[in-house]
Amino acid sequence: PHPGTAPDHDVLIIGAGFAGLYQLHRLRELGHDARIIEAGDDVGGTWYWNRYPGARCDIESVEYSYSFDPELQDEWDWSERYAAQPELLAYAQHVADRYGLREDITFGTRVERLDWDDEAGRWTVTTDDGASRTARYVIAATGCLSVPSRPEFEGLTDFAGEVYRTSRWPHEGVDLTGKRVAVIGTGSSGLQTITAIAPVVGELTVFQRTPSYAVPAHNGPNAQRLADARKRYSEIREHSRMSRTGFGCPEGTLLLADTPAEEARREFDTRWADGGLCFSSAFKDILRDARANEIAAEYVRDRIRAKVEDPQLAEKLSPRTYPIASKRMCVDTGYFEVYNQPNVSLVDLNEQPIRRITERGIVTGVTGEAGKAGEADDEREHACDVIVLATGFDAMTGALTAMDIRGTGPTLREKWAHGPRTYLGLMSAGFPNLFTITGPQSPSVLSNMMTSIEYHVDWITRALEHLRAHGLHRMEAAPEAEDNWVNTTNDLAARTLMPQAASWYMGANIPGKQRVFMPFIGGVGTYRQIGDGVATAHYHGFELA
C-alpha cells in the first residue's frame, strides 16, 4: 500500500460466526465499508465446524439468539428448548441472507498475519491465499473455542480405522452404525457425542481423564416457552443484559454454608427439575466457599449414583478432583444412563493411561517401556474401528495467537506468552485499531455468548462512530489502564474457587500454556456498567488520536 492512499477497507472483520455477522451488519447499517474474512466455506463459526452427533447449545434457544432486531426474534421459531447444531447453523445462514451479508464475506480464506503500519494508520491483513488487504480497523471475531487442541497420541497416524475430531466433524458420510467406537474426552463435546451415538454403535469405549459434572437439560419442544417469551421478550433481554450470566438465571441470595440441609436439598431439587446451568446459581457461595461447593458437588454425585447401576462405575464417573462449576458444567440428555448399556465401557485414564495407538486400536497401561507391546503386565489393547477425539480447544487466546499479529512493539504471541493482557477484553496495548469480540478478560465464556457478543459489537460500533464523528483515526488501550484491568480480573478470580481447576479457563489443557484465569468473572451486568462508563467518560483508559 502507498502511504497517503486510502486503505482497501474501513474495517476488516475476521470470522463469520455470530459475532462477525452481527458486527458486519451493524457497520454496514452505519455506512462503514466493512468486509468479513472467514476460514470456513459458510457462515456459522462454532456451529459450522462442530457437527458431531448430538451437538447442541447449553443455553436455551430463547436466550441463545440475537436480540438486536425484534422482527428477527419474532420470525424465527426455535423448535427445541436447547437448539441443536443444524438449527443453529440454519439460523446463522438465515441471518446472513436476511441482511444480505454474504456479498461482503470472503469465504474459504484464513487470516494468517496482521501488520500495523503506524505511519499510514492501517493494518495489512495477509491471508493463506497469499493475498493482502489493508484496513484502518480490524475486528477479531475469531471465537473462544475455535482452535482445536491437538494432544499428541503416539501412533495415531498408524491407526487403520477412521479418526474424527468433534470440532472438525465431516459434513457428511460418517456412519457409525454397528461399529466399535472409542471416544477420548468427556467434556461437553464428548458427553453429547457419547449420548447420541450410544444407541447406534456396536461397541462404545470411553476414555476418561476427568469426569464432568453434568446437570440434566430436560430438552423438549419449545413452542410454549417461545410463546411465553414473546409476550415479554424485551423484559427478558433487558434482564439478561444486566444479569451475572447473560441469561435468565434466578440468582440465589442465601449462603449454602448457612442453609439447613433439608432446605438446600429442596432448592437443588427444584433447579435439577428445571434443568440447565442455573443449577450452580442456587447459592451465593458455591463458587467461593469450598465447603459449600462440596455440598453442591455431592448432590450431583448422588444423582450420578442413582443413574448408574454399577456402583464402581458410578464412582469413576463422579468428579472429585475439582470444585463443581470451576469448569463449565455439562448439560446432559441421558449421558450417565448410557453406561448401563452392556456394550458401553469406561476406561479411567488415571488408572490406565493411553500409551499409544496402533493399527488396531488404543493401548493403555501403566508400566513397561513405551512402544514395546507386551512389556507391561497390565497393558491392554482396546480394538476399535473408529476413534473420536473430543479433546477440546486452545480456548480464548488460541485463535488470536494463531495469527502472527505485529503492532507497535512485541508481537501478540510474545506479549501474551505469560497470559493475555487486555483492557476490558476489547483491546491490547501496542495493537492500535485492533478490537477483539469476547476477548480474554471479558465475561465471554462464563456467559451466554450471544449476550456478550451483542454487547461487544455494540460497544465497538459506538467507539468507531465516536472516532468518525470526531475526525479521529486511532484508538489504543493505555498500558496503565490495561495493567489495572489485568489485575482486576486476576483479583476477582482469586476470590473464587475457579483457579483450583485444571480447566481450559486456566489454559491448563494446553501443554506449556501459561496458567492464568482468562475470563472476567465479575458478571455480565457489572461488566456492562464498566464498559458503558468507560465509553461515556470519553473512552477513559484508551488513547484516541
Q: Which of residues 132-151 bind ligand NA7 (CB under 6 A)?
A: 145, 151
Nearest to 140 by CA among 41, 11, 25, 49: 11
Stretch in the footprint of ligand NA7 (CB under 6 A) among 7-15, 63-71, 85-93, 389-397: 389-397
Tell how far CA 527 is from the center of its chain. Answer: 18
Residue 263 CB, nearest distance to ligand NA7 (Å)?
30
CB 335 within 8 A of CB 319: no
Tell the residue number behind the cell numbers 479457563, with chain if given. Answer: 505
Helix or strand (DSSP H, E) at 459: helix 449-469
CB of 195 to ligand NA7, least distance (A): 13
Nearer to ligand NA7, 144 or 229 (CB): 144
Instruction: State the cell numbers at 506.
Output: 486456566
Nearer to ligand NA7, 46 or 73 (CB): 46
The residue among 365 and 430 lying less far from ligand NA7, judged by its C-beta, is: 365
**How far from chain centre, in Å, is Cα 347?**
26
Cα distances (Å, whole numbers) of residue 63 to 19, 343, 457, 533: 15, 37, 17, 25
**Site map (CB under 6 A) of ligand NA7, residues 343-362, x = contact:** ------x-------------
Question: How many Å apart are CA 138 and CA 432, to the nearest integer?
Answer: 9
DSSP helix/strand/coil, 265: helix
Look at residue 354 and give its three-state secondary structure: strand
Residues of this chain, 20-39, that bind ligand NA7 according to CB under 6 A = none
In this chain, which residue has its C-beta nearest to ligand NA7?
Answer: 187
Q: How far is the CB of 508 from ligand NA7 (least distance, A)?
A: 7
Instruction: State in angstroms the smallest separation of the CB of 46 from ligand NA7.
Output: 8
Stretch that binds ligand NA7, among 379-387, 388-396, 465-473, 528-536 (CB under 6 A): 388-396
Contact flags string 177-206 toward ligand NA7, x per CB under 6 A:
-------xxxxxxx----------------
At its nearest, how many Å lie between ligand NA7 and the CB of residue 542?
A: 30
Of residues 490-519, those binding ligand NA7 (CB under 6 A): 504, 509
Closest to 316 (Cα-Cα) out of 346, 352, 294:
346
Q: Could you give the CA distance from residue 430 to residue 451 in angstroms, rounded to a whole number? A: 28
C-beta of 349 vs 530, nearer to ligand NA7: 349
Residue 226 or 389: which CB sits closer to ligand NA7?
A: 389
Beta carbon of residue 532, minimum distance to ligand NA7 (angstroms, whole number): 27
In the window 319-348, what residues touch ligand NA7 (CB under 6 A)? 328
Residue 252: which of 295, 282, 289, 287 has the closest Cα? 282
State the CB neighbour count (10 A cutoff) for residue 67. 18
Given a contact cutoff of 8 angstroms between Cβ atoms, the answer to whether 420 and 397 are in contact is: yes
40 vs 151, which CB is nearer to ligand NA7?
151
Q: Name residues contacting ligand NA7, limited to 252-311 (CB under 6 A).
A: none
Q: Among residue numbers 424 through 463, which ones bind ligand NA7 (CB under 6 A)?
A: none
Q: How far is the CB of 166 from ligand NA7 (least distance, A)?
A: 6
- Select from 134, 210, 333, 451 the one that contacts ligand NA7 (CB under 6 A): 210
Q: How far apart are CA 337 and CA 310, in angstroms?
A: 11
Give the binding-site size for ligand NA7 (rule: CB under 6 A).
18
- Phi, psi dihedral angles at 368 (to 5 degrees): 90, 165
Residue among 417, 414, 463, 415 at smallest CA distance from 437: 463
- Are 325 and 446 in contact, with CB atoms under 8 Å apart? no
By C-beta, is 73 or 212 nearer to ligand NA7?
212
Q: How far apart are CA 280 and CA 43, in angstroms?
A: 33
Interface positions with ligand NA7 (CB under 6 A):
145, 151, 184-190, 209-210, 328, 349, 390-392, 504, 509
